Structure 1
């Protein structure tokens, strides 16, 4: 079992996430966020150099912790499986993501705009106060697409190729990007390193997510050919080098149009249209997007476990 412990551990972690979802209390990612905020409070300066140090200390520390933990159990196959499974469960967010999407769908279908607006911050940082049902639906579909990569595909792939250090380092980088990697006056320079490193870490996972979503189009009544066409045409139009690949694939698979004006903390951002020719995303598309996300997550789990198995055999 030793040389294939990573593969079995990935499977164990995926099953744990499916059964239990995220821990309700004492979530390790929340704990890391508190540590990151404390480190930021000590070293913050309005320049890129301080941001580089911030990321190096925290992401490097997470990778080192994973390496030490793997070394401690390297001689026991069962221990490596358990360690990898716990790490996967801690960093994976697929079940919680699908639950949030389903809860949003229920609120929108019931016509409860206040409940839908209250739930939107669980999925993205967009200001929900002035959004109607259609705009909330669009925001939800876009968030499901992007987070399918960030919360599921990327950690699984990093776990497959780099084990527990890869799992922990990826989640650290992605969490730091969410905390400081945006263009506010405070973080425009300090958060630069976190944002750029997150872009690099997601180059391959985002494109794998786009491909998996396009191939899964028939489960939501879409066309693989059309989804691949929209992905190829529109995937590079988004200001993010990675999010556009996911969103364009979802747009093509669902047959909808995404993009438009998004408001973040009073700041409007104009996003290019993805899926031109499709209809405007609506309430009925939220459940379809949730279904697509679940299929993408399951496909990614199989892909990652197979990759880890293959690399384990080569390592032997």
Structure 2
């Protein structure tokens, strides 16, 4: 787990570089190319499900072979420090705490400056909902929800799969998560074609989401937020989220910060209601964005410490 800790520090220094050669970007390009070949609008629903399943298999097989091949070459070097450094560098591409925090802080700063047009524009980069008409409270809610949920997808889950299966499994998870973010929608195009990707992401995210929810409760205690309310809302509201995993981080964060998440969101001009999580003790504003970032970082550090302690215990026993 030392490698995971080093990867976290690499991310803290370098962040998530915006490059066309970023592994997740390359995975996205692979998905786009394969989708063009496999998706046919006129196919039956069963055939679309099968084609979508084949997409998942091809992406995961290709990702595994590439990452495994790279690491096999790296392991030919007899220097364990060089191997660890390269592995940590590659692992840092699967996590994104710095870029997630930077995106949240940028939106926070625009809200503080009362520049709603830029805040709406920037929050549109990190959420799928329509943002053109959002007011400050709704911009803050969208940002808080995204930071909380992406603590699972973009940090804890990759580190969890790295712990149990190494770098290859961490990248496989990012492959599945990227598939879900690109084709896992319940719209006309992806309702059937993206079903396997969405279900696979749900299965892989099941344990990390619950770990994150509990880590948020502990983080609330450490940071002086309301950990008791965090635990209460986690148990009461997590299951209300339409995703089997999304509510765990959001509900515990909502309870810790005395805010209410969920509500009405617009997607492509159509308004949808998502069940509320938490109680509106405090009015949502930009300050809650920074508090959620603190929860995210604390939960990440806690995970790394706990995982390392467990690794050392089993190594020495």
Alpha-carbon offset, residue 152 of structure 1: 0.6
Gapped regions of structure 2 (runs ≥ 5): 42-47
Distance (whole Å) between structure 2 residues aligned to residue 175 and residue 284 of structure 1: 30
**2:245 matched residue in structure 1:** 242
Contact 2:258-2:279 within 8 A present in 1 as well: no
In the comparison of the two structures, how many residue pairs are matched? 308
1:83-115 CA-to-partner distances (Å, cap 9, x unmatched) read: 420221111111100111111111111111001
Contact 2:216–2:252 (CA<8 Å) still a contact in 1?
A: yes
- Which residue number in structure 1 is paired with residue 16 of structure 2? 22
Structure 2 residue aligned with 1:4: none
The Cα RMSD (Å) is 1.8
Cα shift at 1:9: 1.6
Residues 26-77 of structure 1, C-alpha deviations (whole Å, 9 max, x = no match)? 3221121112101111111351000000001002221233333444445743
Q: For 1:176-196, what per-residue CA distance to the aligned partner results, in whole angstroms no more than 9, with x for missing partners?
A: 100110112111111101111
**What are structure 1's unaligned runs of at least 5 residues?**
1-6
CA deviation vs aligned residue, 1:201-257 (integer Å, no higher than 9, x gap): 110111111111111114554221111111011111111100011100000111111
Matches within 5 A, 1:208-223: 208-218=211-221, 220-223=223-226
Task: Give 1:104's aligned residue.
Answer: 107
Question: In structure 1, what is the equivalent of residue 168 of structure 2?
Answer: 165
1:294 alignment partner, SS class: helix
Higher relative contact order, chain-length normalized (CA < 8 Å, sep 6+): 1
For the structure 1 residues 312 and 69, does the alpha-carbon distance in structure 2 shift closer, same or farther, using more than 3 Å as the test? farther
| Matches for 1:63-78 after TM superposition, within 5 Å | 63-74=64-75, 76=78, 77-78=80-81
Kept in 1, the 8 Å contact 2:137–2:285? The answer is yes
What TM-score, normalized to structure 1? Answer: 0.92
Question: In the aligned structure 1, how far is the partner of 2:88 from the partner of 2:313?
Answer: 18
- The correspondence of residues 1-316 of structure 1 with structure 2, limited to 5 A, is 7-25=1-19, 26-46=21-41, 47-74=48-75, 76=78, 77-218=80-221, 220-276=223-279, 278-310=281-313
TM-score, structure 2 as length reference: 0.91
Q: Is the 8 A contact 1:180 1:187 kept in 2?
A: yes
Give distance in 1, aligned partners of 2:83 and 2:200.
28
Question: 4+ residue stretches of structure 1 with deviation over 6 A?
Answer: none
Pairwise CA distance, 1:149: 0.7
